[in-house]
Chains A and B, each alone.
Chain A
Amino acid sequence: MTSVNPYLFFHIFIVTIMLFVMGFYCIFFTFNLVRALIGVELLIKAVTLLIITAGYVTGHMALAQAIVITLIVVEVVFIVVATGVVIGLHGHNGTLDTRKLRNLKG
């Protein structure tokens, strides 16, 4: 707790906020299936950074590392499945535009 450099924490915080903004921008405003997944990746990276910082600040680096490694594995599986679904959608629709996803309504 005592040896934490406040400037480091501040910098990481700024980077995390930037990653969050970029990720949500990718998901909600680019209207592209692959970019939406890239946005999800950015958001998970931001959270990973936040967890590592939390571990550094509280002095529980070992636990933080274990959590982050598990998180990376889960994220990879998630993104593989999501990419498979995107490939399937591209095969059916012939486009990656999210605005074409209007088949289900009501």
Chain B
Amino acid sequence: MLSFFITTPLIVLMILNLPFRSLMKRIVFVVGLSLALIQAVLVALAIFGFWDIYSIPVSPMLRFNIGVDNLSLLLLLCNGMVVFITMLVSRSFIEEGEKRFNFTSLLLLSFAGVNGIALARDIFSLYVFIEVVSISSFILICFNKDRDAFEGAFKYIILSAIATIFMLTSIALIFLVSGDMSFEAVRAALDNSAHTSLVLMAIGLFLCGFFIKAGVVPFHGWLADAYTSASAPVSVYLAGVSTKAVGVYALIRIVVTVFGFDTPINKVLLFAGALSVVVGAIATLTQTDFKRMLAYSSISQIGYIVLALGIATPLGIAAAAFHFFNHAVFKSLLFVNAATLEIATGTREMDKLGGLAQRMPVTGVTSALACLSIAGVPPLAGFWSKLLIIIALWSSAHYNYALIAALASLLTLGYMLLLQRKVFFGSVGDHLARIKEGEWNLIICAIILAAVTVGVGVLFPFNLCKLIIR
């Protein structure tokens, strides 16, 4: 049953590319939209029996009542939601006809790939699905064929190729030790073998590969370029799901399920995460481009997820997964707002904007909600995940890292308020006096995502009580 999640988008893709192009061009938008929506609703309701197949929880804490009981389900939910939003946003940016058909096909391919990453149960399939998602992301980034997009895509391609080489070398070394590829067999083989230099080298190479793909700080060079140069709907998709699935989710999956926690792994994860949090937040302060600022903020938030993973307690893993979900929601929301701004004003330079909250009330309010959520202001969703991360750090005696996480949270509040003040607050300039609110599809996207952020934040304390009592 679960393989439907991979096969359905692929079969739909094949049917769409058969003859009857003119008919297919008309229905492609609706088909893509409904596929993503069906997946999100299926996961969120979780009413079907087939979820029980993989119901061995990653950690006892991971049974949130927002309809998720496992890491895979979390990624499936994010994927359905963000692809739905991306489709709606693309309606304003990509014209009807051939272009939108190609865009939707690529997006569906990537959708199937992310579902595959979520459901893969052996190392090599994980690699294959990662490549599927990466390759469709390359094409999506340079979809508009302008110069910056090609440049950003090329940087991503080269760094991604190096990450691929690292992962494959590591797979070869693991194959040498275990002789098999499935998660259980590799886990058993790694447990039985003493941690020789060969195994340590394999683990290190694998972690490096994921760090490059996720954009954790020593390897973050490509991320800002790719996010900024891609067209607006593609940035929503890249920031919301694509790089998260390829880098962060796969990292969590491999570390939790295959490698298991070990002191050197934890130290590397904690250090890389903390470095990413601080460097990403500081780099944000100097940016003038709206999307570039969001990209650096993404690096900082990915750092939080890696930091939480490095704690290696069930609470830490749960916090990492929860922040993963929250990040997909509020970062997509901010990129949707960036898209609305770009279409309304024609620029992304923050110095040329100002006072837009009066002219664009929905965009202003949802953007303020997303900023407060990222900064960790109660009662929004981001507050709870950051609180969980800091509690987990403190309770496992990583006091320095807890301090860094808390201080960087203040820094986050600082740069997010800076962004709000520059773009939305203040008085309207003369050249912006005729700006109107965005189209209905952009407004619907913003409202849905803002409702999810607020809803999860407000409802979370009740779930937290259940977790503590149980």
| Chain A residues near B (Cβ < 8 Å) | 23, 27, 33, 36, 40, 43-44, 47, 50-51, 53-55, 57-60, 63-64, 67, 70-71, 74, 77-78, 81-82, 84-86, 88-89, 92-93, 101, 103-104, 106
Q: How far is the CA of A70 from the CA of B124 in the complex (A)?
A: 10
Chain A to chain B contacts (Cβ below 8 Å), 7 pairs: A33-B154, A40-B158, A43-B162, A47-B168, A51-B172, A77-B135, A104-B225
Interface size of B by CB at 8 A reads 41
Contact with A along B140-152 (1 / 0, CB 8 A): 0010011110111
Q: Determine the residue in chain B with the shortest Cβ distance to A64.
A: B175
Closest 4 CB pairs of A and B: A54-B176, A50-B172, A92-B147, A58-B179
- A50-B172, A54-B175 known; A89 and B124 CB under 8 Å? no
The answer to whether A82 and B172 have CB atoms under 8 Å apart is no
The answer to whether A106 and B224 have CB atoms under 8 Å apart is yes
The answer to whether A78 and B131 have CB atoms under 8 Å apart is yes
**In the complex, which residues of chain B have a beta carbon less than 8 angstroms from the beta carbon of A88?**
142, 145, 150
- A57-B176, A70-B128 known; A89 and B154 CB under 8 Å? yes
Q: Determine the residue in chain B with the shortest Cβ distance to A77.
A: B135
Q: In the complex, how many angstroms separate the beta carbon of B339 from the nearest chain A beta carbon?
A: 19
Does chain A have a CB within 8 A of B289?
A: yes
**In the complex, which residues of chain B have a beta carbon less than 8 angstroms from the beta carbon of A63?**
175, 179-181
Q: How far is the CA of A33 from the CA of B173 in the complex (A)?
A: 30
**In the complex, which residues of chain A have a beta carbon less than 8 angstroms from the beta carbon of B124?**
67, 70
Does chain A have a CB within 8 A of B153?
A: yes
Q: How far is the CA of A67 from the CA of B172 in the complex (A)?
A: 10
The answer to whether B154 and A85 have CB atoms under 8 Å apart is yes
Q: How far is the CA of A71 from the CA of B172 in the complex (A)?
A: 12
The answer to whether A44 and B168 have CB atoms under 8 Å apart is yes
Q: How far is the CA of A62 from the CA of B196 in the complex (A)?
A: 27
Instruction: Name B's interface SS.
Output: helix
Beyond A57-B176, A82-B138, A103-B147, list 13 extra A-B contacts (CB 8 Å). Answer: A47-B169, A50-B173, A51-B171, A60-B180, A77-B131, A85-B154, A86-B154, A89-B150, A89-B154, A103-B148, A104-B155, A106-B287, A106-B292
B161-214 with Cβ < 8 A to chain A: 161-162, 164-165, 168-169, 171-173, 175-176, 179-181
Q: In the complex, how many angstroms separate the beta carbon of B336 from the nearest chain A beta carbon?
A: 23
Q: How far is the CA of A55 from the CA of B171 in the complex (A)?
A: 12
Number of residue pairs spanning A and B whose beta carbons lie under 8 angstroms apart: 104
**In the complex, which residues of chain B have a beta carbon less than 8 angstroms from the beta carbon of A55?**
175
Instruction: Name A's interface SS.
Output: helix
Q: In the complex, how many angstroms separate the beta carbon of B226 from the nearest chain A beta carbon?
A: 9
**In the complex, which residues of chain B have a beta carbon less than 8 angstroms from the beta carbon of A103?**
147-148, 151
Report which residue of A43, A51, A106 has the largest number of chain B beta carbons within 10 angstroms of its beta carbon. Answer: A106
The answer to whether A78 and B154 have CB atoms under 8 Å apart is no
**In the complex, which residues of chain B have a beta carbon less than 8 angstroms from the beta carbon of A58?**
175-176, 179
| Chain B residues near A (Cβ < 8 Å) | 124, 128, 131, 135, 138-139, 142, 145-148, 150-155, 157-158, 161-162, 164-165, 168-169, 171-173, 175-176, 179-181, 224-225, 228-229, 286-287, 289, 292
Q: In the complex, how many angstroms separate the beta carbon of B95 from the nearest chain A beta carbon?
A: 20
Q: How far is the CA of A27 from the CA of B164 in the complex (A)?
A: 14
**In the complex, which residues of chain A have a beta carbon less than 8 angstroms from the beta carbon of B162?**
27, 43
Q: How far is the CA of A67 from the CA of B145 in the complex (A)?
A: 34
The answer to whether A43 and B165 have CB atoms under 8 Å apart is yes
The answer to whether B229 and A104 have CB atoms under 8 Å apart is yes
The answer to whether A85 and B168 have CB atoms under 8 Å apart is no
The answer to whether A104 and B175 have CB atoms under 8 Å apart is no
The answer to whether B176 and A40 have CB atoms under 8 Å apart is no
Q: Determine the residue in chain A with the shortest Cβ distance to B162.
A: A27
The answer to whether A47 and B151 have CB atoms under 8 Å apart is no
Q: How far is the CA of A31 from the CA of B436 in the complex (A)?
A: 46
**In the complex, which residues of chain A have a beta carbon less than 8 angstroms from the beta carbon of B289?**
106
Q: How far is the CA of A33 from the CA of B217 in the complex (A)?
A: 25
Q: How far is the CA of A84 from the CA of B153 in the complex (A)?
A: 11
Q: In the complex, how many angstroms separate the beta carbon of B168 from the nearest chain A beta carbon?
A: 4
**In the complex, which residues of chain B have a beta carbon less than 8 angstroms from the beta carbon of A85?**
138, 142, 150, 153-154, 157
**In the complex, which residues of chain B have a beta carbon less than 8 angstroms from the beta carbon of A70?**
124, 128
- A47-B169, A64-B175 known; A104 and B128 CB under 8 Å? no
Q: In the complex, how many angstroms separate the beta carbon of B106 from the nearest chain A beta carbon?
A: 11
Q: How far is the CA of A33 from the CA of B228 in the complex (A)?
A: 22
Q: How far is the CA of A9 from the CA of B378 in the complex (A)?
A: 60
The answer to whether A60 and B179 have CB atoms under 8 Å apart is yes
Q: In the complex, how many angstroms separate the beta carbon of B176 from the nearest chain A beta carbon?
A: 4
Q: Determine the residue in chain B with the shortest Cβ distance to A57.
A: B176
**In the complex, which residues of chain A have a beta carbon less than 8 angstroms from the beta carbon of B148?**
103-104
The answer to whether B135 and A81 have CB atoms under 8 Å apart is yes
**In the complex, which residues of chain B have a beta carbon less than 8 angstroms from the beta carbon of A106?**
224, 286-287, 289, 292
**In the complex, which residues of chain A have a beta carbon less than 8 angstroms from the beta carbon of B171?**
51
